[in-house]
Amino acid sequence: RMPDIFDERFGKFMKIAIDGPAGAGKSTISKGAAKRLGFVYIDTGAMYRAIGLAAVRRGIDTADAEGVKSILDDVDVAIRHNENGQLIFLNGEDVSTDIRLPEISVAASNVAVIPEVRLKLVELQRKLAADTDVIMDGRDIGTYVLPDAELKIYLTASVEERANRRCRELKEKGVETDFDAVKADIEYRDKNDSGREFAPLKPADDSVYMDNTDMTLEESIDKVCELAHSRRVGNKV
């Protein structure tokens, strides 16, 4: 990768954390901003989805923590990047498409409650952020995974808008959707993700709160890039 202005000016790497509820636009906006800034984008939700998928494939009830924990040692999650972004591998198999099935959303949210699952993935996430400029999205990036991130954004939108966006996205992929079911899935995950004991979804104290209900994608990406530039200069020693 070519050195970007951030490396040249400051000789160190920058971390951007984007957290928020399902369908807020985190991954699309992070991907767009990463491309413009020359950063690597890391989607942590995909990792929880991969473990959820592993459990579902083995017929394990994802609400049964002991059952999920029993397979953890045999589950290897890895990521690789190509020109279209991040690919995710489960024990060497590319599962980037399979993890997007709607039934895997709830499985991911269920396994994400289990501290052992989180600790395993957090280790991988911190490693991936160690030696490059990153923009990482998830639920606990600013509060737990990268507490020293130079820029933290809590990205949200109304639940109706988030359900609409997810429906549109699924339809485009040819997946049959029902608005009420998608909304119920999002509400279940919002509650589960915010209510868990270990590393719950909540804005970091030092995060920028960004509600993009009425913003276009382009406006949101502009805003993130603007904040990234201003933070970097602010850190100048």
List of residues contacting ligand CDP (CB under 6 A): 20, 22-28, 44-45, 48-49, 105, 108-109, 112, 138-141, 165-166, 169, 189, 193, 212, 215-217, 220
> What count of Cα atoms within 13 Å lies in the side-chain half-sphere of residue 234?
9
Contacts 24+ apart (CB under 8 A), 86-94: 86/41, 86/42, 86/43, 86/46, 88/43, 88/46, 88/47, 88/49, 88/50, 89/50, 90/50, 90/53, 90/54, 91/54
Closest separation in Å from C-beta 130 to ligand CDP:
17
Residue at 46: amino acid letter:
A
Which is closer to ligand CDP, CB of 9 or CB of 80? 80
C-beta neighbour count of 173 within 10 angstroms: 11
Helix (H) or strand (E) holding 86: strand 85-90
Closest CB 143 distance from ligand CDP, rounded Å: 10
**Which is nearer to ligand CDP, 55 or 112 (by Cβ)?**
112
Tell me the closest approach of the beta carbon of residue 217 to ligand CDP, in angstroms. Answer: 5
**Which residue's CB is nearer to ligand CDP, number 183 or number 189?**
189
Least CB distance from residue 7 to ligand CDP, whole Å?
Answer: 26
| Minimum CB distance to ligand CDP smaller for 14 or for 24 | 24
